[in-house]
Structure 1
Amino acid sequence: MSKEHTLIRRVHLAHADANLAKQLWDVQCLNGRVHNIAPADTETKHVEVPDHCSVVAGDEGVLLPSLCHAHIHLDKCFILEQCDPLLTGSLPEALRVTNKAKAGFPERQPDLYARATRLIRESVEAGVTVMRAYVEIDTAVHMVCLDIGLKLKSEWKGVCDIQIVAFAQEALYPSLEAQSPGENFNLLKSALTKPGIGVVGSAPWVEPSREHAHKNIAHILALAQAYNLHADFHLDYNLDANAEPMVWEALRQMRLIGWTRASAGKRRVTIGHATRLGMFSSDEWARLRKELEELPLEIVALPQSDIYMMGRPSTDGTLTVPLARRTLDAARIWRDHGVRVAMSVNNVENAFTPQGYLDPLTLASLGVGLFQVGTEPEWRELLRSVSTTSKETIGMGGGDADLTKSKDNGLVPRVGDPADFVLVHEAKRWQSAVLSPGFDRTTVFSGRVVARRRASRWTAVDEAETVAHRD
């Protein structure tokens, strides 16, 4: 049986050392792993190409770890045209118009499949090889979104690892008086018997009371334990300084049931949005960091959604929270408090996030301006937040503690690493991939090229020069 080789020729790597970053490298992949990394020979004819080896022309671009959606809604992207017109842009309005559109998903299953396929395809073309994809389960859609998500997970196997979240966006408790969870919970529980689900999740903040929200967390953690799944919460999605952050309750319950790093393996509890944490004091961050040393809870910021939806004007017309405080500043939080934060896209073209794109690198670029991030170590952290940190956050990364603290921040491949990359052809240094991500890309998953994206370029000046040369 022949061995599968791929040779990625003449690329820059994201070395922290400036001299190494200027060097061109050849990266050889064998059977899904990095087999060899060597300085590129200036003479192509001197490069030894193994038999049965695919050669990828690097064009002296930058080879980065492949990208990751740590938080993406597979069923709710690209539905803005199906929603009622937005009149206020508020969160209650977004919930209302989305629920109305979602009620039609069972009758529009071909559209649901097409939109989800577009999301995956465009993501892979941008360099995404891993995603945590939410599909909703409730009395409006029942198992329709889940079944399509599981179908797509199977269809895209070998191109992109899709981690399906059986997700309860709606309340588990039907009323303020309810003592037991209702039909939404029963549907969610029955869904977990289907093979292929990796995560169970919910949005505790939609429950009728804080007490019910705490019960919601307990139910989800219990289901995750029973079915050996990750748990995922949309949590602390507010900017209310008077609201006690529910992350403390999630951690308390994790400790109560013994969900620790020592016992859980790669299983994680993840919280998305977590905008309230941006108001933490240094003491609160220190407390959280200490808790995270023992308990495997991870954090995902969703900048495109958070800065759009959070911090709406108060009744007197003033903003209660500055723009840059409406989402978590991943680079600063790591620098000042030693807590890593992933960043993810969440939604595109729906009422929660009308704007933005599926390319995670655009989040890194957004972070530079939004948080006035001006140093290379911070740029590296932003880059990491949409690639290796995101993978670790959803339990699909290496999790090597020494690597995450290395000078290169885990952004430079090592022999034996999974051969999962995005090659940004137009970038000639890693900094450009953060500051102005190029369009032309090649995606490599498990040592095999799975997508190429190229711009078709034309200008009248080019055509005039061609005609003049021909004449």
Structure 2
Amino acid sequence: MMASPNFGHLVIRNVRLPCTDHSEASAWDIACLGGRVQSITSSGSCIPHEEAAVIEANGGVLVPSLCHSHIHLDKCFVLGQCDPLITGSLPEALKVTNKAKAEFPKDVNNLYARATYLIRESVESGVTAMRAFVEVDTTVGFTCLDMGLQLAKEWVELCHIQIVAFAQEALYESADSTEPGPNYNLLCDAASRLDVSVVGSAPWVEPDRAHALKNIELILSLAEKHDLHADFHLDYNLDPDTVPMVWDVLQQMRQRSWCKSSGKRVAIGHATRLGLFSGEEWAELKRATDILPLEIVALPQSDIYMMGRADPSGRVPVPLAGRTINAPQVYRDHGVRVALSVNNIENAFTPQGSLDPLTLASLGVALFQVGTEPDWRVLLRSVSTTSKEAIGIMHGGSVSGKPADEGDGIVPRVGDPADFVVVHGARRWQSAVLSPGFDRTTFYKGNVVARRRAQRWNANTGGEITH
């Protein structure tokens, strides 16, 4: 892990780009000045700025830096602190996690160490932006929030970390409650913190649908009051008889005249119920999101693990691929962009998986059975540029570089932020999706912020080789 002292001035030599024409076989030099792309020229033709560092990519593939559009900073790697899982169900996950969470304030060092490991491993894999949820409630108070805000400051030069003041627990204490309880009062205090970027909740934990709708209203009001993004864990079911609450969120946004020009967005995470949408429903959602800044973030590692379990008769109601939103198909058929994100690692909600967003793209190839390059581009975009758009930080350039301007943000353009990851050893851009290699270099604001190399040995070589 490192930050190079060139103040955003560098040249990345001999990289391959994810172009769709024959230029993908060509190598390019990317010159960056002041943290933005200055020029894109054929390899060997760039004359570096006198203050620029020169990074040799040796033919590796350069793609946009990656983004966790939805990840939990406080509940990562906590499975070993939970009671053993017996059923693997969602109610059990809530129960054992709540028990483990009660210990967080007693061991802040452990909380900090787990979160730090998550950030470090993420940056080394190519992540330069993340939306990090930290819980605020009567169990943990502001312990998780304080930890998250501290880490966001410590890592500010290497990664943009949006802290979400998040209410995992109900804001209303019972079905008889007419006013929100102490969890809401704590959330109000958290939302007023200077460096909090987002306020969020899980409306489905409320005692009934009426209180879930009130939860949504409260969160949107808090977001408006403090000029924050809003983010909901929403429509986390596969019940065709349950009316999706995304329509209620959109209605609230219309009533509040929430517009894209404000720069503040509303995201819904999981949203597995949307996977049951008809073509007409997707068309309606597309019309709404063309006007309103609503973003969808699917969480495949959690959704596939938790959703669609067999009923008491042994029947599996939803096939594996239907347990999370099929991002390539939804874009191909309906023009709706869906971000993909990691969500959790090694906890009761998601025991398995990787922190590396490129593994989500690779998983999507098999899960959604997509074998075409346009679909692979959607998957790559879903863990990079689409995820950045979902958290409101994507800003495109205005002038095209020499490679064909793909129009999907995957190929860099002059004026773009110099936020990239080079996947070394990948001689084709498709490899970044199909078989993403371990060796990588991460660039943020035109600086090298991380290098990751594997150490290899085998009996035929007779010794160690470090790349």
TM over 0.5: yes
Q: Please tell me whether residue 22 in structure 1 is matched to residue 28 in structure 2.
A: no
Structure 1: distance between partners of 2:368 and 2:435: 16
Residue 186 of structure 2 aligns to a residue in which SS?
A: helix
Match of 1:37 in 2: 40
**Structure 1 residues 254 and 163: CA distance shift in structure 2, 3 A:** same
Q: Please tell me whether residue 374 in structure 1 is matched to residue 371 in structure 2.
A: yes
Match of 2:3 in 1: none
Structure 2: distance between partners of 1:210 and 1:16: 47
Structure 2: distance between partners of 1:438 and 1:20: 22
The question of whether the paired residues in 2 share the 8 Å contact of 1:171 and 1:204 is answered with yes
Higher helix share: 1
Equivalent of 2:323, from 306, 322, 326?
326
Match of 1:350 in 2: 347
Match of 1:221 in 2: 220
Q: Quick one: which amino acid aligns to residue 300 of structure 2?
A: P
Which residues of structure 2 form unaligned runs of 5+?
Answer: 1-5
Q: Please tell me whether residue 260 in structure 1 is matched to residue 263 in structure 2.
A: no
Match of 1:5 in 2: 9
Structure 2: distance between partners of 1:194 and 1:147: 10
How high is the sequence identity, in percent, across the aligned residues?
Answer: 63
Structure 1: distance between partners of 2:323 and 2:398: 30
- Residues 340-390 of structure 1: CA deviation (Å, up to 9, x unaligned): 000000000000000001000000000000000110000000000000000
Residue 352 of structure 2 aligns to a residue in which SS?
A: coil
Structure 2: distance between partners of 1:465 and 1:255: 61
The question of whether the paired residues in 2 share the 8 Å contact of 1:14 and 1:408 is answered with no
**How far did 1:129 drift?**
0.1
Match of 1:469 in 2: none
Structure 2: distance between partners of 1:68 and 1:209: 34
Matches within 5 A, 1:100-115: 100-115=99-114
Matches within 5 A, 1:196-235: 196-235=195-234
Structure 1: distance between partners of 2:165 and 2:180: 17
Matches within 5 A, 1:50-61: 50-61=49-60
**Structure 1 residues 238 and 451: CA distance shift in structure 2, 3 A:** same
Match of 2:68 in 1: 69
Q: Quick one: which amino acid aligns to residue 100 of structure 1?
A: K
**How far did 1:399 drift?**
6.3
**Structure 1 residues 113 and 465: CA distance shift in structure 2, 3 A:** closer
**How far did 1:298 drift?**
0.3
* CA RMSD in angstroms, aligned pairs only: 1.8
**How far did 1:411 drift?**
0.4
Aligned residue pairs total 457
**How far did 1:193 drift?**
2.2
The question of whether the paired residues in 2 share the 8 Å contact of 1:21 and 1:429 is answered with yes
Matches within 5 A, 1:377-416: 377-398=374-395, 407-416=406-415
Which residues of structure 1 form unaligned runs of 5+?
Answer: 467-471
Structure 2: distance between partners of 1:199 and 1:4: 28
Match of 2:167 in 1: 168
Structure 1: distance between partners of 2:82 and 2:236: 23
Residue 71 of structure 1 aligns to a residue in which SS?
A: strand
**How far did 1:126 drift?**
0.2
